[in-house]
Each structure stands twice: as structure tokens, then as C-alpha cells.
Amino acid sequence: MTATAGHLLVVDDNEMNRDVLSRRLVKQGYTVAMARNGREAIEQMRAESFDLVLLDVMMPELNGYETLEQIKADPLLRHIPTIMVSAVDEIDSVVRCIELGAEDYLSKPFNPVLLKARIGAVLEKKRLRDQEQAHLRQIEVEKTRADDLLHVILPDGIVEELKATHTVKPRRHDGVAVMFCDIVGFTAYCDPREPEEVIGSLQQLIEIFEVIAYRNGLEKIKTIGDCFMATAGLLQPLENPVLNCVRCGLEMVSVAPDFTPMWQVRVGIHAGPVVAGVIGRQQYLFDVWGDTVNLAARIESAGVSNAVNISADAWRQVAHLCKGESIGVFQVKGKTGGIELFRVDAVL
């Protein structure tokens, strides 16, 4: 054995007994500390890390049984294995020690071979138990990491459903406001620049957009290239989801020029029914579908830059709360005769 085979604590009120046992254990390769009584032993156990305690049964003040009880009652100490040592070789004493939580029982005088075997067996059991606990802790760390990643990818409520059922049932949601916010001239900005510069600038803007969306009660759905997509009233009820989107969009338009290279954005908003759910098996994606989503995207594309553009239907829900004006009828795919769009300038 090496000197790192184990750190042991010998507890005995008899100095000669402590010394003899300690020297024998040191010769076997262990590091050894000594305590004169149960109280001193518990103090040392709280101050140092031990792999095993050899505890005498018959001691004044606090005997071995009482010391063992206190050790097993302490959450910080109960995992440390204890071998009881006594000149009393009575079955009742052995049974009592085992019932109190002792790993083993040794009678004085010691048989050197038996002493070595018993200590080795207990330490091996502790080593395996420590490995198991370390493995379980690592599993918890990985589980937490996986949960954190899911919460980054998916909304909280969706994560809980996915964990409970291993699927997310697609659902129809009415009265949902959908917002798209796109960077104006992004492709032209990208062409002459290195990818690292492009992604660095985009990352800064998207991060602040996430903060703004959360502050205004929106759920970020995804980014599509340089386009930020979010919803209001989908996963949590809102009194006026369109108004929440308008506030969010106006704030995005306002802050975008503060970031290099003085971005301009274009926001499109529409409201109506959507279908929401999770698609994919290897890479989960929570998404929304339907005509409301398609129309919101087309309103963003058709609208004016550096402004919040909304459909006539959405405008009717916020006209009494906002300042804005019609910017005309625009032809959009899938809508015969076009649709009227409104530019929202401010919330009253």
C-alpha cells in the first residue's frame, strides 16, 4: 500500500492502545490521526477529511455508541465509515453497533491479518461508493446542462411538456400577434466584410433585441438570418398582444442605430390564429405556422424602412392607443387586391 491508501482516525481513551494501533496502521501504508475521546473525534472529523474511523466502544464521557450515534446523525459526517473496536466480544454489542450504522466490528487484541483485511474491505467499499456518488453528481451536472440548453432553445412551458411526454402536441392559438424585424441592407453590409465582423455586429444587435422582446412580453421564436421573429399572446395571455408587439418594434427601431454600423430595421406585425408546436427529432425547433405568420413576414418585406408596419386588422386593435397613418395598399402574395398597411409612429 502507498501512503495515500487512506486517511484514518483512531479514537481510544487509552494512550497505549492508540499508539500501538496507529503504528501498525502506518506500517500498512495509511496516514493516521488520533483522538482521545468521542467529542475530540467529532471535532476532528468536522475539521479534516477522513476515509475511515476506528472507534473504541468503552470510553468515558462519550462512549463509542453515543459517538457513533452523533456521527450518523450529522449529514456531513454520516458517510464516513466506522469500524467499532472493543475488548468486549459480545454478540449484543456487535448487533447494537451494526444497528447504529457501523461498517464492521473488531475485537481486541487485534489479529493483524484480520485487521488489514477488514480495513481494506471497508475502504474499498467506500471508494466504490465515492465513485458512484461522483458519477451521480456528474449525471446531475449533465442533466442540468441539457435542461439549460433546452430552455435556451425552447420556451419554458414547452420544455416541461417535452420532458414529461417526449413530444409537444401541435396546438391552434387564436389572437396571436406575430412580429418580424429585419435589418435593412444587411446583404450589402456582409459582402465586403469578414464573417467574424458580420457575426460580431449581428450578435450584439440580436442580444439587445432579445432583451427588448422579453421586456415587452414577447416570446422569441427564432432568428432567420438577420430577421428576428417573435410572438405576443402565444404562451402567456396578454390584454392586447398587438400593442405589445408595437411597443417592442418601436424600441427596436429606436435602438438599432446605436449599434455599429448604425443599423436600420423594418418591422412587420399581423395578428390572428396560428398553429404552434415542436418539429424535428435531432434538433428541436419550436415554431409557428399559418396565414398569420406568412402575412406578418410579407408586411415586413413590403413596409417602409426604419418603421413599424402593421396590417389594417392589427391597426384596428391599437388605433385608439397609438399615433400612426396609412401608407397605402400593397400587393402581397396570396392576397388578391392587396392589403392596406399602417405605419405606427408612437404609443400614446
Does 4 score more than 70 pLDDT?
Answer: no
Contact 105, 84 (CB under 8 A): yes
pLDDT grade for 294, boundaries at 50, 70 and 90: very high
Contact 178, 231 (CB under 8 A): yes
Q: Integer distance in angstroms from the first to the last C-alpha of the chain?
A: 81
Distances (CA, A) of 330 to 120, 152, 268, 301: 84, 37, 13, 11
| CATH number of the structural domain spanning residue 218 | 3.30.70.1230
Same domain, 209 and 262: yes
* Residue 78 φ then ψ, to 5°: -60, -25
| CATH number of the structural domain spanning residue 97 | 3.40.50.2300
Q: Quick one: how far is CA 55 from the chain centroid?
A: 42
* Residue 99 φ then ψ, to 5°: -65, -30
Q: What is the extent of the structural domain holding 73?
A: 7-136
pLDDT score for 288: 93
Strands 307-311 and 265-279: parallel
Output the average pLDDT for the chain: 90
- Of the residues 136, 153, 177, which one is the last residue of a structural domain? 136
Q: Which residues contact 193 (CB under 8 A, 6 or more apart)?
A: none
Q: Rounded to an integer, what distance in angstroms lies between the CA atom of residue 13 and that of residue 57?
A: 10
pLDDT grade for 2, boundaries at 50, 70 and 90: very low
The residue with cell 438577420 is: 226
Strands 335-347 and 307-311: antiparallel
pLDDT grade for 250, boundaries at 50, 70 and 90: very high
In DSSP terms, which residues pair with 176 in a beta bridge? Answer: 272
Supply the pTM of this predicted model: 0.64
Helix (H) or strand (E) holding 321: none
DSSP three-state, residue 291: helix
Task: Between 279 and 69, name the one with better pLDDT.
Answer: 69
User: How many structural domains are present in the chain?
Assistant: 2
Give tens-digit pLDDT for 251-290. Answer: 999 999 998 788 899 999 999 999 998 877 666 778 999 9
Is residue 156 in some structural domain? no
